[in-house]
Every structure is written in C-alpha cells, then in structure tokens.
Structure 1
Amino acid sequence: MDLGFTTAVPGLQAEGIAYSPDGRLLKVIESLNRTVTATDTRIDLYIEAAANPNIAVDFSFTPTALGDLATAGTAPLYRLRQADVALRDTQVWDLTQDIVTLDGLRRELPSAQPRRADILRALEHCLDLLDPDDVAGTALAGRASSFTAAR
C-alpha cells in the first residue's frame, strides 16, 4: 500500500489502519511498514487513513499553515498511489531472508575468520542448487543443504 507518504521519514504523515469487514484490526500502515498479509484467498479489507501535515520534513519540524482550518486550504494532502496484491511464496521468502541474514553476518565478520569463509561457501552452494527458471521449486533444497552447513 502507498497512501501517498514519503519514505524519507517513518510516520508523522499519511498513515492508516487496515480492518477486516467485521471491524477487527489487521495492521497499521505507514511509510516504512506498508504490507498487509491476507490469510484467505479472498481479500476483503478496509483502510482508515489519516492525513497529517508533514511537519517533520527531515525531522526539522518546519512551520506549516495546515494546522488551522482557516489557513489549511482544501487541496488533498495525500492520494492513494498504489495498492498491489501479490502471492508470496513462503519458501522463496524464507530463502531470501536466510541469504540476506547470512550475507550480512559474513560482511560483519573479520576477513581472516574461518566462519566467514564457511558462510560464503554455504551461500555459493545454495546458489548452485537454485534453478533460475524454477526458484520456487528449488528453494527448499537450497535452504536445506546449504544453510545446514552455515549454521
């Protein structure tokens, strides 16, 4: 979801709450936390959005005329720019998280430490096992064999 906010700062601008049709709170939506996970094949949710004037530009808290109804004007502050629906393959998602995490750990370790080389070999082995034309079908094998060696 993109409620028209800027990703330069978290919150303090266009924010929303996603609700189920029965009024149950599902998730808060803001500039750095934009996804809502559906648990069913039918997607039915409501977004209650708040349009706060962006006074926290680069956290300098600049003055604005938008805080008073007499000077605020009538132009919309934000517009819904994007709402995507995507099917997440959890095996591929988990593989991606493993790769990002292990690569981050590898980069933090001293270059002479053997653990760093072990992680690099495990990542290389994982990528060797992945079929670029069938990542979803080979993700589990890549995770199982490669990351067992890295742990």
Structure 2
Amino acid sequence: MTEQAEITPDEILRRLPHRFPFLLVDRAVDYVEGQSITGIKCVSAADPYFPGHFPDNPVMPGVLVIEALAQTGAILMSKTLNADIANTVIYFMGVENARFRRPVRPGDVLEMPVQVVASRRGVFKFKGEARVNGVRCADAEFSATSAQRQA
C-alpha cells in the first residue's frame, strides 16, 4: 500500500484526458493506493459556467460537482492500476444516492475525499463527498471502469 502526500497538476494532466474547461480537479492529496484520495478544486469566478449559472447568483452546477468527484476517483483508479492513459481510458459508469446540500460558489475551495468501497472484475465503486471549509456540499456513490483506448 502506497501513500503519497500530493498529486501535482502535472501528474493529473498525465493521468486524465480532461482539459480546460472540463478538468475539474486542480490537485490531489492523501492518496492511499487502492483505497482513497482527496481531490482539490479551487472554484474561480472565471470558471466558464458561472456567467450562465446564474448571472446574479453564481452557483457551480451540481452535475459538475459530481463530475469533479468522478475525476478524483479516476485519478485514484489510474494510479492504483498504474494505467497508461495513452492506451487506457477510465469511464464513469453510474451515480447513485447523489445529494446536494449547499451551493458551491466562486472563491470556494472544494475538497473531495473519495474512497473505494468495492472493486471487482475491473469495476471500481466509490463513495465521495464534496466539502467547503469542512461543510458537506454534496455526496454520492459512483462507479467507473477502464477500457482500451480506441484509435
């Protein structure tokens, strides 16, 4: 079992195919191989969804909070499987029991602890939370798998 203090933005870019404006994890901390990780997203007023969601009351769309949790899980999977992203892609499969409890706004730092709750036949099941200043904003259970990248 390997533990790593911080996963840098450069490593995230090596492990995920996502790019701006859809890369929703800036860095990660507290990685424990095959078990858990915490993603960090610094929410900025410059993020492209705020002008339309909502102009006078900017709120990060809940579906993007869930996507940020899924990307955090994908980083955990990629490191645990030592996946070569040139040949492997990690696919989000499903989400269950998603709950939204508090809006996420520009200036917030989203902390996303994610843990593996099961892993079987190439499918990882996760449980994750999105928090700001220790206050839970959202939580969900979700799953992902990996597959050979298509040419």
Q: TM-score, normalised by structure 2?
A: 0.24
Larger Rg: 1
Q: Which TM-score applies when normalising by structure 1?
A: 0.24
